[in-house]
Structure formats: C-alpha cells, structure tokens
Structure 1
Amino acid sequence: MLGALTGFATIGIVIAVGALVAHLGLFDMQAQTMLSRLAFFVASPALMLLTIGESDVAHVLSANLVASVASVVVTASILLVIARWRWRMSAGEATIGALSTTYVNAGNLGIPVAAYVLGDASLVAPTLLIQLLVMAPLSLAILDRFVRGGGGGVRRTVLGALSNPLTVGSLLGLALGLSGWTLPEVIHAPLDLIAQMAVPAMLLAYGIALRLGPGLGAGLGRKLWVTCSLKLLVQPFVAYAAGHWILGASGAPLLAIVITAALPTAQNIFVYASRYDVGTALARDTILITTIGSVPVILTATLLLSP
C-alpha cells in the first residue's frame, strides 16, 4: 500500500513542478508543446524499445492480459456508443475519449504499484505490452487518418501506423524481447538516458497545461464525469468480473488484475491529444481526476482482495 501512495505522490510532485514553473513565467504553452513533442518523437520511442525489449513476452498469454483486454473492450465500447449517439463526437474526439477511459498508467505508476503492492513488477507487463503494441498503434492510426485528414485507404493507414515513432519503438522492443538479444552497452546507455526523459517531459508538460490551459472541466460538462466514472468504476469492475467469474482467478492474481485496471489514465493520452490538437481538455482533466480518484479505488481493492 505504501508503494501505491509513493507512486501517486511522485507523479503529483512532478506535475506540481510543471505548474509552478508555468506560474512563475519560466515556461509558456510553447514550452509545453516542445516538451510534448520531445516525449512523443524522441524519448517515448526509446522508452518503449527498452521497456518491451526487457519484458517477459510470455506474460502476454497470461490471464491478466485476457481480463485486461475484456475490461478495455467493454469500457471503450460503452464510451464510443455514448460518444456517437449522444455527444456526436468526431472520430478524433471519440478516440481520445476511449483512450482516456481505458489506457492505464501502466509504466511510471503501474510498475511501482505492482512491485510494492503486489510484490512482482512483471505483473503489469501484459497490460503494458497490449497498450503499446495494439491500443496505441491502432489509436494513432485512427488519429492520423481522421484528424490529420490522411487518405489512401487501408494501405496508407497501416503504413502510417507502422511509421509512427511509438509504434516503431514498440516493434523494435518486441523483436528484442522475442530474440533474447541484448543491446550492447554502447547503444543501451544513450537510449536509456534518452528514455529517462519521457516520463518527466510528459508530467511537466501536463503540469504546464494545467496551470495555463482552461480551468478544470471547462466546457466538458457530463463528458468529463462519464469518462472518469468509466475509468474508475466500470473498467475495474469488468476486469474483476472477467478475472473471477470467467477465468476463475482469486487471491493475488485477481488482485493484480483489478489493480491494473484501476490505475489512472496515462499521461501519454495528453501527449497524443496535444500532438493531434483534439480532445486535449478532456484528456487533461480525466488524467487529473482519475489520478486522484484511483487512490481510494486501489486501496479499497487491496483491502478487499488481498489474500
């Protein structure tokens, strides 16, 4: 439980630093854009390459992954139905909305939570891999096609996804993980140094946007509360239902499934929204509220499901 609190505190402090430097006038929205681009094009691909390359790819076949996929599909489907028939969102806005309700902070928060609360950091690997290798490339392909106005049919959509820097980094990492090959230190060391910029850049950019952007919930109304409710309540419940009633998991494995689904929305989604200039307020505010709201959800799950 201490690990979960430590992870949340670390994220909150770095975001607060970003807000502080913006408040003091040291950085403006141009700096926020620069940090987001740095994370998207440079640091995050390096992070994905190393993270996946050093993961146990066999975990992809675990029950954790099956339950995680079920929770993502059900939760995203609910959001997309509401977005289409109630809110009349564009494809880009709906994509950011779906990501905001399902794409969890499995990296800089999920890893410490898994290590200190569950006792095994590798338990977050299945979710991390499915997000990086399926959810992110698919979502970015949709954003490339519908937000940036790309045409050319399926071929261009696939090529666009494969040329995305995050997808490239993820695929290279998967190749490393499957081959068992280890990067020589002369390559690994600079990549690791660059990768370490990813999370701080995301968090600082997010803090700057919180301070200089529109106020919390500005113009979002029910959209914000629907996305937050889906993320904090529906996704963990569906993960529990799939893990316990369908897969028969219990004890520590079930706790791992629920906690992973209960993690807050990842800062990556704000980077994506900023990159494509769509749904930025929804992504920003959902991240903030779910980061705060996931604390009691995770602590409650730990108390109820701990073996």
Structure 2
Amino acid sequence: MNLVLTVLEIVSPVFLLAGLGTAWTRAGWDYPVEFVTRLAMTLAVPCLIFTALTKTEVDPAALASISVAAAICYGAVAITTALVVHLLRLDQRSYLAPLTFGNTGNLGLPLALFAFGNEGLGYAVVVLAVTTIGVFTVGIWMVSGGSKPARVLREPMFIATVLGALFLWQGWHTPEWLTNGLTLIGQMAIPLMLLTLGVAVGRLRPNELGRSFLLSLLKTAIGAAAALGIGHALGLSAVPLAVLVLQMITPVAVTSYLLAERYDTDSGAAAGLVVVSTLLSVLALPLALAFLL
C-alpha cells in the first residue's frame, strides 16, 4: 500500500496539470500554444537545464555515463523501430521518428524530479539534451529525408546544456542574484510544459486508434528493453538507470505531430500516436515507477 501511495504522489501532479490543460481547451478558452511553447523552449527550459546542471551534486562522470547510455539507447531503439515499421509495411517518414523519440521534457523532467529529487532531475536534463539533439538532427532527417545538423547549435536548450556542463566541469557559479533569477524563470518550465501538453492533446483528432495502440505498446516495450539492457551493460547505478528507463518509455511527444505537419507526412498517424501513447502512459509510467522504486 505504501508503494502505491508513493507512486500516486509522484504521478498525480503530472497528470493533474496535463488534465487541467485538456479541460482548459475543452472549455473553449484561449490558449496560445505557439507562444507558450516558444516561451518554454527558448527561455524557461534552458534556464531549468542550466540551473539544474550547475547546482547538481551528481558526479560529472555519472552524467557523462547516462548521456552515452541515452545516445546508445536511441540508436538501438531507432534500429529496432525501423525493422518493425518495415515489417508492418508502414511509411518510415511518418512513423519512425515518433516511435523513436519520447516526451522527455513535458513528462520526463517532472517525473524524474518528483520520483528522485534534484539528483534525478540532473540525470533527466542530460537525457533531454540528448533527445533534443537527436530530434533536431536525426529526427528531422527521418521525417524530411534531409537534415541540417548545424540547426541544433542554435537551439537554446543545447546552448544551455553546453554552458551548464562547462560550469559543472569547471566548478564555476553565477552570481547569486543571477542564479536566483534563472532559477525563478526555470521554475515556469514544468507547469508550462504540462499544461501545454494537455492543451495539445485535447485539440488533436487522431485516426486509426487500434494501430496507434499496438505501436504505442511496442514503443514502450522497446524503450524499456533498450534502457534496461544498455544501462546494466554500462554499469549504471540505481537512480540513473531508473531515470533512463523512465525517459525511454515516455510517450510520443507533441513535437512529432508538429514535425509531421511541417514536412507533409501523415499528421493523423502522428496525432494518434501522441494521444494513445499519452493515455497509455497513465498506466505504464506508474507501473514502471513501482518496479523501479
């Protein structure tokens, strides 16, 4: 019973805020998704990443280990997913990227924070950084057939990660007044991302839910297997391994739907994967936490 209550305490704030976002849009009230997303991704999340890295007490070597593990996991997931998509005779451009990259920001960060505290958040932002680099390089290549790797160098989240890692490595610290300001801005990130996730899911109108359910189950299983296998092979300790598993089984991100719209792939398929995998995560993430805690 204590374990069940602990898991509920961790996941309830996440789904409460996302549910509020869905209820907001269902009520017909205005929510400027583009503006809020830009605010979160260019200001709040970079500040959160930078301050989380500079204030973390996690050994830099451990952060480096989980970044390597995350990169290898994404490679393994991409190869396995490509085989599944090929065997099912699905369109690679429409399905490969959504099934490879998860929602490591909107759901991954708050879950890691609530479950494992600031230590877990430190590991989670590293996985988010690897995800961001992957989405804006390999992910765009998967969707469009062509990629511009230099684009990631201009992403605020990437810049914040590099600066945070540099400060962590050198033991540098920003002035207290600046640290407090950046921390205050970063505190907006998780509520904004969860509310926006709920709004975006509430606005989607997916098709082919049966196929989306099967693929969402496969995504969860492939991600969990990759994280557990590679994490154990690299000798990750309990907390980074748990964070890696959580991040690798997060549902399909709304970003996949936006990329599908932009590059003229099957946006209906992407929308279905976002909605179904997010609903499935209501069961999958608590079960994973119960196993990992």
Give the TM-score of the pair, scaled to structure 1.
0.75
1:294 and 2:285 correspond: yes
1:189 and 2:180 correspond: yes
Gaps of 5+ in 1: 116-120, 152-156, 303-307
TM-aligned CA deviation for residue 258 of structure 1: 4.5
Higher mean alpha-carbon deviation, 164-173 vs 281-290, is at: 281-290
**Following superposition of structure 1 onto structure 2, how do residues 156-195 of structure 1 map, counting pairs within 5 Å?**
157-195=148-186
Give the TM-score of the pair, scaled to structure 2.
0.78
1:125 and 2:122 correspond: yes
Deviations 1:177-235 (A, max 9, x none): 112111113322232222222211111112122323215xx23532442233332x333
Instruction: Please tell me whether the aligned partners of residues 104 and 266 of structure 1 are also in contact (alpha carbons under 8 angstroms).
Output: no
Counterpart residue number, 1:27: 30
Could you tell me which of 4, 7, 16 is aligned with 1:4?
A: 7
Counterpart residue number, 1:112: 114
1:205 and 2:196 correspond: yes
TM-aligned CA deviation for residue 8 of structure 1: 0.6
Q: 1:163 to 1:147 in 2, by over 3 A?
A: farther
| Distance (whole Å) between structure 1 residues aligned to residue 41 and residue 108 of structure 2 | 17
TM-aligned CA deviation for residue 259 of structure 1: 6.0
Counterpart residue number, 2:63: 60
Q: Which amino acid aligns with 1:17?
A: L
| Distance (whole Å) between structure 1 residues aligned to residue 43 and residue 106 of structure 2 | 21
Deviations 1:135-159 (A, max 9, x none): 31132124556767877xxxxx232
Could you tell me which of 120, 132, 150 is aligned with 1:136?
A: 132
Q: Which amino acid aligns with 1:113?
A: A
Aligned residues: 280
Instruction: Please tell me whether the aligned partners of residues 112 and 124 of structure 2 are also in contact (alpha carbons under 8 angstroms).
Output: no
SS at match of 2:109: coil
Instruction: Please tell me whether the aligned partners of residues 82 and 92 of structure 2 are also in contact (alpha carbons under 8 angstroms).
Output: no
Instruction: Please tell me whether the aligned partners of residues 264 and 294 of structure 1 are also in contact (alpha carbons under 8 angstroms).
Output: no
| Distance (whole Å) between structure 2 residues aligned to residue 70 and residue 104 of structure 1 | 22
Higher mean alpha-carbon deviation, 66-75 vs 41-50, is at: 66-75
Counterpart residue number, 1:270: 254
**Following superposition of structure 1 onto structure 2, how do residues 229-268 of structure 1 map, counting pairs within 5 Å?**
229-231=218-220, 233-244=221-232, 246=233, 253-254=237-238, 257-258=241-242, 260-262=244-246, 266=250
Could you tell me which of 218, 227, 240 is aligned with 2:216?
A: 227
Q: CA RMSD in A?
A: 3.4
| Distance (whole Å) between structure 1 residues aligned to residue 104 and residue 177 of structure 2 | 37
1:87 and 2:63 correspond: no
| Distance (whole Å) between structure 2 residues aligned to residue 188 and residue 66 of structure 1 | 28
| Distance (whole Å) between structure 1 residues aligned to residue 252 and residue 184 of structure 2 | 19
Q: Which amino acid aligns with 2:119?
A: S
Instruction: Please tell me whether the aligned partners of residues 46 and 160 of structure 2 are also in contact (alpha carbons under 8 angstroms).
Output: yes
Q: Which amino acid aligns with 1:7?
A: I
Q: 1:165 to 1:124 in 2, by over 3 A?
A: closer
| Distance (whole Å) between structure 1 residues aligned to residue 234 and residue 102 of structure 2 | 26
1:100 and 2:102 correspond: yes
Instruction: Please tell me whether the aligned partners of residues 74 and 101 of structure 2 are also in contact (alpha carbons under 8 angstroms).
Output: no
Q: 1:38 to 1:270 in 2, by over 3 A?
A: same
Gaps of 5+ in 2: 262-266
Instruction: Please tell me whether the aligned partners of residues 214 and 281 of structure 1 are also in contact (alpha carbons under 8 angstroms).
Output: yes
Q: Kindly, what percent of the aligned residue pairs are identical?
A: 19
